[in-house]
Amino acid sequence: MNSDYTPSKYDVYVDPTKCRLCGRCIENCSYDVFRKDRDKILTYPNNCVVCHRCVSFCPANAIRIEKFSTPYRDHPLWDAEAKEDIYNQARTGKVILGGMGNAKKYPSIFDRLVLDACQITNPSIDPLREPMETRVYLGKKPKRLEFSGKGNDVELRTKLSPNIMLETPIMIAHMSYGAVSLNTQLSFAKAAKKLGTFMGSGEGGLNQALYDYSDNIIVQVASGRVGVNSDYINRGAAIEIKAGQGAKPGIGGHLPGEKVNKYVSKTRMIPEGSDAISPAPHHDIYSIEDLAQLVRGLKEATNWEKPVFVKIAAVHNSAAIAAGIARADADAVIVDGFRGGTGAAPKVLRDNVGIPIEAAVASIDEKLRKQGIRNEISIVASGGIRNSADITKAIALGADAVYIGSAALIAMGCRMCGKCYTGLCPWGISTQREDLVERLDPEWGSRQVSNLITAWTHELKELMGAAGINSIESLRGNRDRLRGYLLDENILKVLDVETVGA
Amino acid sequence: MCGIIGLLNKDGKKIDGSLIKRGLSIMNERGNGQGAGFAAYGIYPDFEDYYALHVFLDNMKEAKSQVEKEIERWGYIVYSEEIPTNDIRTFEREQIPYRYFFKPDTRKLLGHDFDERDAIVKMVMRINSSKAGSLVVSSGKNMGIFKAAGWPEEVADFYKIKNYDAYMWLGHNRYPTNTPGWWGGAHPFGLLDWSVVHNGEITSYGTNKRYVESFDYGCSLLTDTEVVTYLFDLLVRKHGLSPEHAGMALAPKFWKDIDKMPEMKREIHTALRLAYSSAELNGPFAILVARSGGFIALTDRIKLRPLILGHKDKTVFVSSEEAAIRAMEPDLDDIVYPMAGEPVVETLEVPL
């Protein structure tokens, strides 16, 4: 008898009348759910993570996965999750790890915001027939311009700070080589280059295979300084200091040793097979003035030619932190909401720390405007952005652009099974096992991701056109074009949005 | 839909108000009798060194004494009177139009890091957001705004517009959807010697409003045109941009066109879009923005509202409709249809 046994969540059933015994399910499942016993396929459903790989590849459509629950006595407080976490920790004495984003049932603010459209007094604009601009520049903007000369002989005297130019406000979030496969990063890089946008390197160095795409890569400097050297920071289009992450505010990155093969080891400059656990804070940033030094140090090291971004997790005082970042010479603040994904995070942090991206973006934009420093810094929203409506709403709340992470992975087959930390990703995404990595063709992957971003950009243009807006600047911070539907008064106040009907 | 109109004599020759009234009244189809107004430049030569404050008062007691207290925080009232009006049978006198001629006291500005014009801006913002029964309608030197809820002819007759002589006139005929019938919502809008008339609806208002608010302008008049006034004051007076550059910032060139420009020009247009992205006006509009000495006429980037100019000798006419221009001057030298988003700047050829 096992007192700590937790029952399987799924039932995996292979229909013997359809099955041809081709063995593709065995081949494709990296979690060893299937095995062949003479003339039939047997399953061990306890291992199933519902990644759908077997279902997708079964030529006979013979596999059926169903939810399977051995019931516990119903209890509103002591639900299955609460009990199973306890069984698990009683057995192991360890911190529970989880992949992907916050999995608790907090209500979504995005789903309670609605957008506006023009009628009669004001024409909507048809993006199929009229220009519709989605180009965004990220970086410091001058507060005012100075010119010399007169008439046709005017010259600009104000010097512009380096900015990066995006043809669409959608960028691909930082996912490190190590956390994800090289083919995943290659897919992103090809898509970013094709679309005129950017991807994040994550904290894992830059594999040589990505050098051709480095004009479209923002290189990350995180607390472990993994992969950071002069060549690396000079290669990127911009540099991003990662101070926090929405999925695990307050702690550093975590790459399980299982995923550190010899190639990852070389790029990251760490021993093969070793866990790569980045420190919680940067050990040279214990205060805001330390951040200013690091920002300036990185700018000095790159000849003041690269914008330097700072990424923080959305927490209670992120608005004040962002104002500090703006004054620390940084060029953009990336704010990562509590829905932000990850390869591996302690479940307790993932599910309980941080605040929603909607509130964080609104309060940061507001604070920067109040202090008259909104032009000093761009705002990039990330964490749990699921579709073009979320993007449009995030921009209307004050963001310049967004990062998408989970959505880009889903575009390449990810089923959000949340087991990234095992390194067994059957879709070739969050794994370093060569046979699994090969499953992801970077050409196909980049097409999927670029299709997704293209489709969302089309939809964004439709939404802007409906609102009578033909350039994205006029959407940014335009909260008058949002209404809250059944949001409470306090949240409406934070968002500076009126209720529906008002 | 609204009608806008303007005229400027570049020699500074004064023209009485009956001409602009005739032009504006031709376009009654564009209004609905819920708001009309005029701005006139050069009308107070005897008081040209003083700020002329046109104010709407709810009553001659508390509202008046409160507004005078605010005004006197920064200087002296040199002269004041009720603006002369006629009784017009067909419309309701909702406000008492009053005017003050005001001289700032430089001693009261000592120790502040702003000049007297900033003090006037602060004064206007305080009065207009205080809801104390008064509203500053215009606050420039040697100019004034006359507006009310009514048809153009009614408003012109109410204010005895034909008795004023100005080298530049602006007019507006309103078809309000936001604040019908409210005198404060009628155009022109003014601040210092700026005045703005606008046909359209600004879809970027939320962005523009938050932008000017971060420079201490307060939007209190419940309509989008107000923000245009503040944007021009900020970009031209405070930041020192030329009216042309301000026009390019408010109706920027499309990136596809900027990308094709020669380098110097591209740099300027890119810088304008980067620095002033939150000042960009979106949605359909045709606007006339005047200040002492001239005006700028501008439409949105895809010209969703009409704008036409005509010249006759040294007088330039501008309007939503050619018919209105021809009603003022049948024998024109030319008619000009500005390109979408192309700022047209017309100024006096003589010193002010």
pLDDT digits (tens, 9 = 90+) for A36-65: 999 999 999 999 999 999 999 999 999 999
CATH code for the part of the protein at A10-71: 3.30.70.20
CB contact under 8 A, A145 and B207: no
Nearest CA in chain A to B259: A135
**Residue A461, min C-alpha distance to chain B (Å):** 14
pTM value is: 0.95
CB contact under 8 A, B268 and A154: yes
CB contact under 8 A, B274 and A141: yes
**Residue B256, min C-alpha distance to chain A (Å):** 9
Architecture of domain B3-347: 4-Layer Sandwich (3.60)
Residues of chain B with pLDDT under 70: none
| Cβ pair A357, A337 in contact under 8 A | yes
Pairing outcome for strands A199-200 and A217-221: parallel
* ipTM score: 0.92
Minimum-distance CB partner of B204 among A370, A372, A469? A469
**Residue B143, min C-alpha distance to chain A (Å):** 28
Question: What residue ranges do the domains of chain A occupy?
Answer: 10-71, 136-141+163-499
CATH code for the part of the protein at A136-141+163-499: 3.20.20.70
Task: Determine the Cα–Cα distance for residues B245 and B240; give it in Å rounded to an integer.
Answer: 10
Tell me the pLDDT of chain A averaged across its residues: 94
pLDDT digits (tens, 9 = 90+) for A392-441: 999 999 999 999 999 999 999 999 998 998 999 999 999 999 999 999 99
pLDDT digits (tens, 9 = 90+) for A61-75: 999 999 988 889 999
Question: 3-class DSSP state for residue B281?
Answer: coil
Task: Determine the Cα–Cα distance for residues B219 and A334; give it in Å rounded to an integer.
Answer: 30
Minimum-distance CB partner of B302 among A130, A145, A480? A130
Nearest CA in chain B to A464: B203
List CB contacts (< 8 A) between B204 and chain A: 469, 473-474, 478
pLDDT digits (tens, 9 = 90+) for A212-263: 999 999 999 999 998 899 999 999 999 999 999 999 999 988 888 889 999 9
Characterize A352-379 residue by residue with b for buried, 16 or more Cβ atoms within 10 angstroms of its Cβ, and e for exposed. Answer: ebbbbbbbbbbbbbbbbbeeebbbbbbb
pLDDT digits (tens, 9 = 90+) for A443-495: 999 999 999 999 999 999 999 999 999 999 999 999 999 999 999 999 999 99
pLDDT value of residue A4:
59
**Residue B103, min C-alpha distance to chain A (Å):** 30
CB contact under 8 A, A369 and B207: no
CB contact under 8 A, A131 and B268: no
List CB contacts (< 8 A) between B279 and chain A: none
Active site residue B2: yes
A338 Cβ contact list (under 8 Å, min separation 6): A101, A102, A106, A246, A247, A249, A313, A314, A353, A354, A355, A356, A357, A383, A384
| Residue to substitute from B244, B274, B300, B305, interface A, most A β-carbons within 10 A | B274
* Helix-, strand-, coil-residue percentages of chain B, each rounded to 5: 35, 30, 40
Give the model's confidence band at A1: pLDDT under 50 very low, under 70 low, under 90 confident, else very high.
very low
pLDDT digits (tens, 9 = 90+) for A81-124: 999 999 999 999 999 988 788 889 999 999 999 999 999 888 99
Nearest CA in chain B to A369: B214
pLDDT value of residue A267:
85
| Cβ pair B19, B26 in contact under 8 A | no
Amino acid of residue B269: H
Amino acid of residue B111: G
Catalytic residue among B2, B57, B249, B309: B2
CB contact under 8 A, A478 and B206: yes
List CB contacts (< 8 A) between B256 and chain A: 131
Q: Distance between the two ends of chain B, CA-based, in angstroms?
A: 34
What tokens appear for A127 in the block? 């993006």
Residue A204 sits at the vertex; the CA angle it makes with A199 and A206, to the nearest 5 degrees, is 60
Minimum-distance CB partner of A156 among B268, B283, B284? B268
pLDDT value of residue B114:
87
Amino acid of residue B215: F
